[in-house]
Amino acid sequence: MRHLNATHLLIHEDVMSDTLMRARAERMQPHITAGVTEVVDDARLNELVDELQLFGRGLHGRFADVPMVVVLNRFLFDHDEATQAARRDRYPNLFRSPYHKLTGYGLSGKGCYEWRDSGSPEYRARTGMVCQPAWQIHTIVGCPFRCAYCGLGWTQHLLMNLEKLVERLDGWIGDDPPQTLWQHDNHSDVSEFEPEYGSSALLIDYFAHKPGCYLELYVGKSDNVDNLLSLDHRGKTTCCWSVSLRSQCDLLEPGTASLTARLESIRKCQEAGYPVRIRYSPLIPIRGWREELREMIELTFATCRPELITFETLRYMSHDAIVAAMRPEVLDPEWLELMREAPAKPEFGGGEIPDAFRERVYRAVIDDLEEISPRTPYAFCRESRPMWDCFATDFERHWQRPDSYVCNCGPFSSPDHALLQVAGG
C-alpha cells in the first residue's frame, strides 16, 4: 500500500479487540507514519472530530502536502434505528456529513451498503441530470491523493471488519439480485491501500462465485495493481480508472499515477483477464487541452482496449473556486473568462462549465473516439438531458440512449451486457 504520512492515527478500541481487525491494522501500520497514535472509544472520537477538524476543511487546492488523519474504525451491522438514534444523540459528531451521502453516516460505523440515488426520477427532476441509481459497497472514505479540485485527502476513514461485511452480502443482494453490477468504492481510490487492507481480494473472490453478479473495482488514479493480477476473478470483476490529460495529471493531481502509468496498469489488468473501463473524468480545460485530449485518446488505445469509455467535465466549482484551487496560468484562458461570466448555479456547488464550451469539449472527445476506436461504446457520466439530445446521433451509433445505456457503474452495466458483447464481438 502507499505510505501514509499522518498527523494522527486513530484506532477504535473495537478494532484492537477483534482478531481479524487487529491483524488488518497491524498489516497496515508499518505503512503509516503518524505523529500521534491513539486507541479511541466513541466518546474520544466524537471529541476529536472538532479538535482535529476531521471534516469540512475544503478542497486541497494548491497544497500538495495536505496533512491527513487516519481513522481505523468498524462497521456496526447490528445496530437498529433506535440504537443508532441514541448514539447520534450521545455522539453527534460521529454522524456529521461533510462530503457525500455515505458520509451522512460520518464515523458512526454505518453506510457499507448504500443506495446511490443519482438518476432516480426525483433526482432527474430536481437536477436535470441523467444518471443511474444503484446499490454500492463502501468501506473507505478518503483518498491519499491531492487533486486540487477534491477534498478527500484530509481524513482517511477505513472500516476494518471486512470479513463480516462479505458475510452479509448474500442477505443484502439476495437470490434475485436487484442489479448485476456493484461498485466498490467511489469514495476512495481503494487500490492505494492494497494489498494490506484486503477489501479488493475479499470482494473479487465473493463476486467470482456469485452467479449473475459482477463487481466494479474503482482503481481510480492509481497504478497499484500488481496485487490484483494473480487473483482468481473469473471475469466477474471489471476494473475502472479515471484517466486525465497529461498536464492535468502532472499539475493538478499531485500524488496520482502519471497518464502513462495509469494506462500501463490498465494493460496489466487486461492481460490478467479483467474487463477494463475508463472514465475521462473530470476533463479540465488546461492550456492546449485539445491537443492533449487527442494524445490521451491515442495513447489509451495504443496501450489497452477498454470495453467502455465515459466522460464528464469538471463541475461543482465556480470561477473564484477554480482560481483559488488551481494555478490560472496552466488553464485555458478562454474557459476561465467564460467561467467568470457564467451565472452562479447553486445546484452545482456554485458553478458549471457553460453548455457551449462543454459541448465543444464533448464534440472533440467523441470525434476522436470515433476516429481512433469506432467500435468502443461511450457515454456521458452525469450530464443533462439536453446535452444527451445534442449528441443523440453519435450515441445511437452505439445503441446508447439517456434512458437505456451502459456506463461504468450503472446497475445493469455488467460485462455480460448485450451491448458490450456486440461491441466486443
**% of residues, the chain, pLDDT over 70:** 96
pLDDT bracket for residue 350 (50, 70, 90): low
Which amino acid, 341?
A: E
Question: Which range among 46-55, 150-159, 218-227 has the greatest average pLDDT?
Answer: 218-227
Grid cell in block for residue 283: 476533463
The predicted model scores a pTM of: 0.95
pLDDT bracket for residue 153 (50, 70, 90): very high
Q: Which string of DSSP letters, residue by residue, matches 179-243?
A: -SEEEE-TTS-GGGGTTTS-HHHHHHHHHHTSTT-EEEEEEET----GGGTTS--TT-EEEEEE-
Q: Decide: 158 and 70 in contact? Cβ < 8 Å.
A: yes
How long, in residues, is the chain? 425
Closest CA to 77 of 160, 164, 166: 164
pLDDT at 101 over 80: no
Mean pLDDT computed over every residue of the chain? 93
Query: According to the model, what pLDDT value does residue 306 have?
Result: 98
pLDDT bracket for residue 28 (50, 70, 90): very high
Name the E strands within 30-78: 32-40, 68-73
Q: 19: how many CB neighbours lie within 10 A of its CB?
A: 7
For 380-401, the pLDDT digits (tens) are 999 999 999 999 999 999 999 9
Q: CA distances (Å), 290 to each of 80, 236, 303, 394, in order? A: 53, 36, 20, 19
Query: Average pLDDT for residues 347-371, to the nearest whole number?
Result: 91
pLDDT bracket for residue 102 (50, 70, 90): very low
Q: CA distances (Å), 252 to each of 48, 56, 247, 315, 326, in order? A: 30, 21, 8, 15, 7
CA gap 45, 39 in Å, rounded: 9
Query: According to the model, what pLDDT value does residue 67 have?
Result: 86
pLDDT at 10 over 90: yes
Q: What is the CATH number of the domain that holds 20?
A: 3.80.30.30
Query: According to the model, what pLDDT value does residue 348 have?
Result: 65
Range of the domain at 81: 4-424
Query: Average pLDDT for residues 146-157, to the nearest whole number?
Result: 93
Query: According to the model, what pLDDT value does residue 103 have?
Result: 44
For 35-72, the pLDDT digits (tens) are 999 999 999 999 999 999 998 788 999 887 888 999 99
Query: According to the model, what pLDDT value does residue 111 have?
Result: 84
Q: CA distances (Å), 198 to each of 20, 55, 242, 318, in order? A: 11, 26, 21, 38
Return contacts of 20-25, CB within 8 angstroms, 24+ apart. 20/161, 20/163, 21/72, 21/74, 21/160, 21/161, 24/160, 24/162, 24/196, 24/197, 24/198, 25/72, 25/160
Query: Average pLDDT for residues 338-352, to the nearest whole number?
Result: 79
Grid cell in block for residue 421: 458483447
pLDDT bracket for residue 349 (50, 70, 90): low
pLDDT at 104 over 90: no
Query: Average pLDDT for residues 254-263, to the nearest whole number?
Result: 97
Instruction: Report helix, strand or coil for 120.
Output: coil
Q: Decide: 229 and 269 in contact? Cβ < 8 Å.
A: yes
Q: Which string of DSSP letters, residue by residue, matches 142-179?
A: --S---TT--TTSEEEEE--HHHHHHHHHHHH-SS-S-
Which is it for strands 155-159 and 140-141: parallel, antiparallel or unpaired?
antiparallel
Q: Decide: 184 and 236 in contact? Cβ < 8 Å.
A: no
pLDDT at 351 over 90: no
Q: Quick one: three-class SS letters along 368-390?
A: HHHHHCCCCCEEECCEEHHHHHH
For 118-142, the pLDDT digits (tens) are 888 999 998 899 999 999 999 999 9
Which is it for strands 113-116 and 276-283: parallel, antiparallel or unpaired?
unpaired
Place of cell 486513530: 10
Tell me which H or E stretch contains 309.
strand 309-313
For 268-279, the pLDDT digits (tens) are 999 999 999 999
- DSSP category for residue 101: S
What domain count does the chain have? 1
CA gap 208, 213 in Å, rounded: 8
pLDDT at 172 over 60: yes
pLDDT bracket for residue 100 (50, 70, 90): very low
